[in-house]
């Protein structure tokens, strides 16, 4: 029964995102107990939820007030300097560009499921848009992640440093991977997605941002 539940849940992860590398079997065992206790086999599995701010509610800011600047380090040892705004982030290296953060791990199936969409979008909108991949794994060597990047043909920079965790925690944190956050050309937060978001949804938001003055 546990193996069946794991298989079903693995498919669900493509749409809801990954929580934790070791959480799948634990959740399957919990679900098996629930099935024994009740005949309601359609009990809803709790979906991953980010704790990022919603666009319609901007009264509170996710930015920690004491941290105003941060520098991310890419696999090729380039620096991406950030400046935190009241409700957004300015990326010094990508002025006047839409910046989209892809917060991911190498062990998460939905993260890899969405890669082809991000690669295609980066090609189509390269004049107006820049993806940045934020790896959320500790102790990974750049050489390992470079091989991963090459394998998946990623055409945007990947950052691999402790500053990734500082950025995510400062911004508000995430509970699932991938989490994709869109910032407009002025650095203002626009929208975010959790899980393997369809390319059409991402492009629809990008077109909306391009229409902003």
Question: pLDDT tens-digit profile of 37-75?
Answer: 333 333 332 333 333 444 444 333 344 446 789 999 999
Q: Is the same domain home to 129 and 174?
A: yes
pLDDT-derived band at 164 (thresholds 50, 70, 90) equals very high
48 assigned to some structural domain: no
77-129 tens-digit pLDDT: 999 999 999 889 999 999 999 999 999 999 999 999 999 999 999 999 999 99
Whether 52 is in a domain gets the answer: no
CA distances from residue 138 to 50, 80, 106, 126 in whole angstroms, order as listed: 21, 19, 11, 30
pTM: 0.73
* 160 pLDDT more than 90: yes
Query: Residue 154: what pLDDT?
Result: 97
Domain that holds residue 83: 69-210
Cα–Cα distance, 69 to 84 (Å, whole number): 6
The number of folded domains in the chain is: 2
Shared-domain flag, residues 21 and 79: no
Amino acid 50: pLDDT: 36
User: Is 8 in the same domain as 86?
Assistant: no
Return the CATH number at 190.
Answer: 3.40.30.10
75 shares a domain with 132: yes
Domain shared by 87 and 175, yes or no: yes
Within a domain: 131: yes
The pLDDT score that the predictor gives to residue 18 is 75
42, part of any domain: no
Q: How many other C-beta atoms are found inside a 10 Å radius of the C-beta of residue 197?
A: 21
First to last CA, the chain: 55
| Same domain as 96, residue 146 | yes
Domain co-membership, 17 together with 107: no
């Amino acid at each position: 029964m546990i193996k069946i539940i794991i298989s079903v849940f693995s498919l669900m992860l493509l749409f809801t995102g990954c929580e934790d590398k070791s959480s799948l079997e634990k959740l399957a065992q919990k679900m098996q107990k629930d099935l024994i206790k009740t005949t309601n086999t359609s009990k809803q599995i709790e979906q991953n939820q980010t704790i990022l701010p919603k666009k319609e509610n901007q009264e509170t800011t996710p930015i920690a007030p004491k941290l105003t600047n941060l520098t991310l380090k890419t696999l090729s040892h380039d620096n991406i300097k950030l400046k935190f705004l009241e409700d957004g982030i300015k990326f010094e290296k990508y002025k006047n560009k839409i910046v989209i953060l892809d917060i991911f791990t190498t062990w998460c199936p939905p993260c890899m499921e969405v890669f082809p969409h991000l690669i295609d979008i980066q090609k189509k909108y390269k004049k107006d848009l820049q993806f940045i991949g934020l790896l959320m794994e500790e102790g990974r060597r750049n050489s390992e992640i470079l091989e991963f990047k090459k394998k998946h043909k990623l055409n945007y920079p990947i950052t691999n440093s402790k500053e990734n965790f500082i950025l995510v925690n400062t911004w508000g944190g995430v509970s699932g991977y991938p989490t994709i956050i869109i910032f407009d050309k002025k650095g203002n937060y626009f929208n975010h997605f959790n899980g393997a978001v369809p390319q059409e949804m991402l492009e629809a938001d990008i077109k909306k941002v391009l229409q902003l003055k």
